[in-house]
Structure 1
Amino acid sequence: MNTDGWKVPAFELEEFKPKKSKYCVCIPVINEGDKIKRQLEKLKPFSSEIIDLIILDGGSTDDSLNREFLVSNNVRALLTKKDKGKLSAQLRMGFAYCLREQYEGIITVDGNNKDSVESIPLFIEKLEEGYDFVQGSRYVPGGQEINTPLSRKMAIKLIHAPFISFMAKFHYTDTTNGFRGHSTRLLLDSNLQPFRDIFDTYELLAYLSVKAPRLGYRTIEIPVKRVYPKGKVPTKISPWKGNILLIKILLDLYKKKYDVQPAQLNYKNAIGERQ
């Protein structure tokens, strides 16, 4: 694998267990407290059998990632970002690590215990069937949403999903959902190149949604459940700032700001010559 040109944030790696599975689950977190602990406990039946668990820490300071607890809940590795950037930077470091470890597929899920991690076998099933981009959706038949804030629901249904669907030429229903599956083929395509520092905040989520079907990769939505707590929704970004950033990313997508430029195609595909 040729990793020349990859822009990956500096990070500290702690490996607790050897690789044992074809597929891994990457969980980006930052100060998730008891939520990530409850989520890891729910994941234990899967992490002991069919997946490897990788934590992508953005720099937590709340002691939620106690090493003893991580080991007892079958976490294989903890990557702690020591560089700038937010979610997209965390995903870049996680994808780079997992590709170098030669996983066949990478599933991502937020670390805030809102998602139905019991759906992970369905993601693996679709990756096994040859799908390259598997998007979890609470809005397809069989999916479920509980206590979704009205403002978020309207933003997804009226703005984000229609716009991403238009750009992708693929009908999506839940485009802000980070519960996804990615094939190695997709992430290593030289026409995609996710390992660029232009992906810093939330750009990579939208970019992957658009480019996977546009590049001809098999894409599908599958049903998942997402549960918000009752009352005020805990968030690390204000709704005003979040919506402004969301719209800016969509406009930049439309202007093809994130597309690979011809000058960036001078080196070989990261997986080398296809056999």
Structure 2
Amino acid sequence: MLYKNIKGVPRFESFEYKKRTKDYVILIPIINEGDRIHKELKRAQDSKVSSYADIVICDGESTDGCTVEEKLKLLDVNTLLVKRDVGKQGAQLRMGIWWALERGYKGVITIDGNNKDSIEDVPRFIEKLEQGYDFVQGSRFIKGGHAINTPLVRTVAVRLIHAPIISLTAHKHFTDTTSAYRAYSRKYLEDERVQPLRDIFMTYELLAYLSVRATQIGMSACEVPVTRAYPKKGKTPTKISFFRGNSELMNILLKNAFGAYKPIKHLNNDISH
């Protein structure tokens, strides 16, 4: 089915293999992830993740065959969403979030599709959502988490730059803020002071913004331990180029810190901490 002309949502198609079966949904944004996404989904299948949450792929128009329907169905994918519009990760997530809210899910979990994160830990996020948390961040750097083969430059960037800036902006200490492995409550995503479905979120802006907005408006947030493992050899699976990509991320971080992504009518209406 083709969806279009929805404010704040890119034009997209949905290929629904099953109806909603769970209260929670896992959104996996991908583009040309090759066999990595299949390996991740197989791990999810082996851990019976689909018994906790519906699995939905948010595709950015992959051309490498990684979204072949028969393969996805065999790996317990509930639905494939395909963006047919401009934008990168932020647009894919807006597409998925709108669709998830329309379908009636109580909460949304997001995770990268490059097989680096421990998708087996999905129940930990659901447990926190059930306890009443509105934003749950996965972290490899807290007790119980594991950082495997993480490049030194990435560890330094996260621990000394990204996490401190996000923590200052959020008024709460976070340790692993570049990770897209996190969860959001329906209450958080639908709050008028949040408004995630805006065209301003095209690339990585939405992840940065949603990392800080919950605690800015008095909602509850926490971290849960996860594992992020990089391959021992070969090219690091990432969509962020070293120079241009990281400079763009820094620009987003600073704009986020100065409130550039807050809804206009709520710029001066946050709860103080």
Find out whether 1:184 has 2:189 as its counterpart: no
User: Is contact 2:44–2:120 with CA below 8 Å preserved after alignment?
Assistant: yes
SS at match of 1:26: strand
Change (3 A) 1:166 1:263: closer
Distance 1:128 1:201 in 2: 29
Structure 1 residue 237: deviation in Å? 3.0
Structure 1 residue 144: deviation in Å? 0.3
Structure 1 residue 217: deviation in Å? 1.0
Structure 1 residue 255: deviation in Å? 2.4
SS at match of 1:162: helix
Aligned pairs for 1:38-187 within 5 A: 38-44=39-45, 45-187=47-189
Distance 1:237 1:47 in 2: 28
User: Is contact 2:49–2:122 with CA below 8 Å preserved after alignment?
Assistant: no
- Return the letter of the residue paired with 2:73: V
Percent identity, please.
51
- Return the letter of the residue paired with 2:117: D
Structure 1 residue 263: deviation in Å? 8.4
Structure 1 residue 47: deviation in Å? 4.2
The residue number in structure 2 matching 1:199 is 201
Distance 1:236 1:164 in 2: 21
SS at match of 1:237: coil
The residue number in structure 1 matching 2:249 is 246
Which moves more between the two structures, 252-261 or 78-87? 252-261
CA-to-aligned-CA distance 1:181-200 (integer Å, 9 cap, x gap): 11000000010000000000
The residue number in structure 2 matching 1:260 is 263
TM-score normalised by L of structure 2: 0.93
SS at match of 2:127: helix
SS at match of 2:164: helix
- Return the letter of the residue paired with 1:227: A
Which moves more between the two structures, 226-235 or 244-253? 226-235
SS at match of 1:35: helix
Gaps of 5+ in 2: 268-273
The residue number in structure 2 matching 1:267 is none
Change (3 A) 1:5 1:139: same
Distance 1:49 1:261 in 2: 40
CA-to-aligned-CA distance 1:178-230 (integer Å, 9 cap, x gap): 00011000000010000000000000011011111111111000100000011
Distance 2:190 2:156 in 1: 34
CA-to-aligned-CA distance 1:143-183 (integer Å, 9 cap, x gap): 00001111111110111000000010000000000000110
Structure 1 residue 133: deviation in Å? 0.4
Distance 2:240 2:172 in 1: 29
The residue number in structure 2 matching 1:223 is 225
User: Is contact 1:88–1:200 with CA below 8 Å preserved after alignment?
Assistant: yes
The residue number in structure 2 matching 1:10 is 11
Distance 1:46 1:190 in 2: 35
Change (3 A) 1:7 1:190: same
- Return the letter of the residue paired with 2:29: P
- Return the letter of the residue paired with 2:219: Y
Find out whether 1:24 has 2:37 as its counterpart: no
SS at match of 2:51: coil
SS at match of 1:28: strand
SS at match of 2:19: coil
Which moves more between the two structures, 210-219 or 225-234? 225-234
Structure 1 residue 78: deviation in Å? 0.4
Distance 1:25 1:64 in 2: 18
CA-to-aligned-CA distance 1:19-61 (integer Å, 9 cap, x gap): 1100110000000011000111111143442210110001100
Distance 1:257 1:226 in 2: 30
SS at match of 2:252: helix
User: Is contact 2:166–2:257 with CA below 8 Å preserved after alignment?
Assistant: no
- Return the letter of the residue paired with 2:72: L
| RMSD (CA atoms) | 1.7
